[in-house]
A and B are shown apart, each in its own frame.
Chain A
């Protein structure tokens, strides 16, 4: 079915801020396959690829796929955004988008065939998440390893911004490394890595005729199963659904169940689950359009504050990093909460 021009997708938070149809999903759909001026190209990239438009689309169009495929077409004709190109160059050269020393990545040797894939954000920017995850997995008695400097960026940002070739190169490096390390199962911290490895990697593998037999879980899926009820008398939290985990992977209840298990009361934000809005960091928006990105972040923070909850919890290092910059509320990853709760129980014992 074609676009009906019903405008439902104009609930897009970026359109709400910018206000011009060229930024709206409805406007962009009218421009597909047309020759775009520089202005229109720039507007086309004003999108976090959060998928909210797809949830409300009356024509059931696969809008996320449409945005990603059309960004790839733009990149092919050299119409990319400078900040995205900078990330592409950095991941190829350094293995991470921050041009950081790869040695800083968490390393844990073990004969186990379970790999904890922390991802770039948790390794370099919000290290506490990676460290807490390692500690929690150890407390739960899991045998696992972490790849250290041989782990490279999963390529999620590259896939979202249209740099498919770069993402494919990163795929090859990671998959070869996992094969060498005898990995069978992968646990990720970052919903972006999770979606990329779970949904995009098998397609790249098929295209490249490479075997891909890795089981992937997000840490919240693992913890929901493995964590015992702690029933601590903790306060109130509100939970932000990260786009890659929620809308794109339909993991909504697991993180909430973990929070309830450890003893939190959840107060939902008005827009939750499939109607959650992006933290503002996704799809290369923060890198190229920081001012729009910050406005979305602020909007979400205000929504979180209005719940009256004491803490804003999410399950994504990107969201934690993004929110922490402006939030007056305490911002935590689910895993950080799990770790401190497990410690509390341990201390009581």
Chain B
């Protein structure tokens, strides 16, 4: 029996089993690679985190940081028997000198509600803001509401506090790239300093229009999104702009990107495509699915394509089409490879035994899957 650190912990295997998943519907052949965690820790401060890290190092046990597990890239899915580090008990935040200083378990929309009263607003936040966490979104380097004006979260993080096997560190500048979008493979984000905007009122308008017309109208907006569901709705949010009824409705529904489609769906694919290719990309994709949502960012757009089939090959085909237009998958996580060499050099130095969220960002599962198909064939 393990001697666990003196931290809130759950070891009941039935409860631990519930920590094997996130939003990703793991295709059947892949589920064989998923392991049940050994324990779930809920640290309440840095001391707890350091104790967990010390314990993991001593026992050679992998650690997986976890926010709200809303990601669709399997970042929190254990591919080895691991210790889950659930950050939901570290959720304090404050505004200091016009910047947000938030613990990683803080929930985006809870922050927005509170800081709005103080005259500040988040520059960017994911549409999953009702539940997703600061640490989770940064670790995934997401795009979201406001990305048209302010870019991805990476462009809005000023510094991070992280813990790894060496202890607590403050990271800023160029070094941030080793943590933002790293899915917790290089350390656990404890705290983040994030840039804010003044809470200037937003005007929100929406129209029924085509995607090519929508693309022409996004200049100088705070946020723009296009949803092809029951109707084709283009939402445009501008600081100090006008609002209309459809706009107010669409703005309220911005947190529900997965609802409103004509039929039920089983799967989706998500890509980032340069702005100039959005229309061509979508006209090709429409042969596979007519249901999608486009969120515009600076010079590019993130596109979520809803699929009626769980067939992973269809999702992969969409990524191939995106690559043809100089696009890329939205995330990496369990499926895709992070390709920058200096990242992997850094990872090797910081975590030589690959204990921090192991087997992620390596494209492992795809390799395993390809192997499985080859074996079956």
Residues on A lying within 8 angstroms of B by beta carbon are 1, 4-8, 10-11, 19-22, 27, 30-31, 36-37, 39-40, 43, 56, 58-60, 270
Q: Which residues of chain A are near B70, meaning CB under 8 Å?
A: 6-7
How many residues does chain B have at the interface if contact means C-beta atoms less than 8 Å apart? 29
Let me know if B128 is at the binding interface, CB within 8 A: yes
Question: With A20-B10, A22-B15 as given contacts, are A11 and B130 in contact (CB-CB < 8 Å)?
Answer: yes
Question: Contact partner of A19 among B88, B131, B256, B265, CB < 8 A?
Answer: B88
Let me know if B326 is at the binding interface, CB within 8 A: no
- With both chains docked as a complex, state the minimum distance between the C-beta of B186 and any C-beta of chain A, in angstroms: 24
- With both chains docked as a complex, state the minimum distance between the C-beta of B201 and any C-beta of chain A, in angstroms: 18
Q: Are B21 and A6 in contact (CB under 8 A)?
A: no
Please measure, in the bound complex, the distance between the C-alpha atom of A30 and the C-alpha atom of B19, giving whole angstroms. 11
- With both chains docked as a complex, state the minimum distance between the C-beta of A17 and any C-beta of chain B, in angstroms: 11
Q: Are B15 and A4 in contact (CB under 8 A)?
A: no
Please measure, in the bound complex, the distance between the C-alpha atom of A200 and the C-alpha atom of B54, giving whole angstroms. 55
Question: With A6-B128, A7-B68, A7-B69 as given contacts, are A30 and B18 in contact (CB-CB < 8 Å)?
Answer: yes
Known: A1-B264, A39-B14. 16 other contacts (CB 8 A): A4-B258, A5-B69, A6-B23, A8-B130, A8-B131, A19-B86, A19-B88, A20-B15, A21-B18, A22-B15, A27-B18, A36-B14, A37-B14, A40-B14, A56-B130, A58-B258
In the complex, which residues 1-49 of chain B have their Cβ closer than 8 Å to any Cβ of chain A?
Answer: 8, 10, 12, 14-15, 18-19, 21-23, 25, 40, 42
Q: Which residues of chain A are near B132, meaning CB under 8 Å?
A: 7
Q: Are A10 and B131 in contact (CB under 8 A)?
A: yes
Q: Chain B 112-138 against A: per-residue CB contact (8 Å), 1 yes, 0 no?
A: 010000000000000010111000000
- The contact sample of 23 A-B pairs, CB cut-off 8 A, is A7-B23, A7-B68, A7-B70, A7-B132, A8-B130, A8-B131, A10-B68, A11-B130, A11-B131, A19-B8, A20-B15, A21-B15, A22-B18, A27-B18, A30-B21, A31-B18, A39-B15, A40-B14, A43-B15, A56-B130, A58-B256, A59-B258, A270-B113
Question: With A6-B70, A60-B259 as given contacts, are A39 and B12 in contact (CB-CB < 8 Å)?
Answer: yes
Q: Which residues of chain B are near A6, meaning CB under 8 Å?
A: 23, 70, 128, 258
* A-B interface pairs (CB < 8 A), number: 63
Which single residue of chain A is at the shortest CB-CB distance from B71? A7
Q: Which 10 A-B pairs have the closest CB atoms?
A: A21-B18, A1-B264, A27-B18, A58-B258, A22-B15, A7-B70, A7-B131, A7-B68, A10-B131, A5-B23
Q: Which residues of chain A are near B88, meaning CB under 8 Å?
A: 19
Please measure, in the bound complex, the distance between the C-alpha atom of A19 and the C-alpha atom of B7, giving whole angstroms. 14
Which single residue of chain B is at the shortest CB-CB distance from A12? B131
Question: Which applies to chain B's interface (DSSP): helix, strand, loop or mixed?
Answer: loop
- With both chains docked as a complex, state the minimum distance between the C-beta of A273 and any C-beta of chain B, in angstroms: 13
- With both chains docked as a complex, state the minimum distance between the C-beta of A306 and any C-beta of chain B, in angstroms: 10
Q: Which residues of chain B are near A27, meaning CB under 8 Å?
A: 18
Q: Which residues of chain A are near B314, meaning CB under 8 Å?
A: none
Which single residue of chain B is at the shortest CB-CB distance from A16? B88
Let me know if B89 is at the binding interface, CB within 8 A: yes
Which single residue of chain B is at the shortest CB-CB distance from A37? B14
Question: With A11-B131, A19-B88, A19-B89 as given contacts, are A40 and B15 in contact (CB-CB < 8 Å)?
Answer: yes
- With both chains docked as a complex, state the minimum distance between the C-beta of B267 and any C-beta of chain A, in angstroms: 10
Q: Which residues of chain B are near A60, meaning CB under 8 Å?
A: 259
- With both chains docked as a complex, state the minimum distance between the C-beta of A97 and any C-beta of chain B, in angstroms: 32
Which single residue of chain B is at the shortest CB-CB distance from A56? B130
Please measure, in the bound complex, the distance between the C-alpha atom of A10 and the C-alpha atom of B86, giving whole angstroms. 14
Question: With A4-B23, A11-B131 as given contacts, are A58 and B259 in contact (CB-CB < 8 Å)?
Answer: yes
Q: Which residues of chain A are near B15, meaning CB under 8 Å?
A: 20-22, 39-40, 43
Which single residue of chain B is at the shortest CB-CB distance from A22? B15
Which single residue of chain A is at the shortest CB-CB distance from B22? A5
Please measure, in the bound complex, the distance between the C-alpha atom of A270 and the C-alpha atom of B15, giving whole angstroms. 33
Which single residue of chain B is at the shortest CB-CB distance from A24? B18
Please measure, in the bound complex, the distance between the C-alpha atom of A231 and the C-alpha atom of B22, giving whole angstroms. 53
Please measure, in the bound complex, the distance between the C-alpha atom of A122 and the C-alpha atom of B77, giving whole angstroms. 50
Q: Chain B 333-346 against A: per-residue CB contact (8 Å), 1 yes, 0 no?
A: 00000000000000
Q: Which residues of chain B are near A30, meaning CB under 8 Å?
A: 18, 21
Q: Which residues of chain B are near A7, meaning CB under 8 Å?
A: 23, 68-70, 128, 131-132
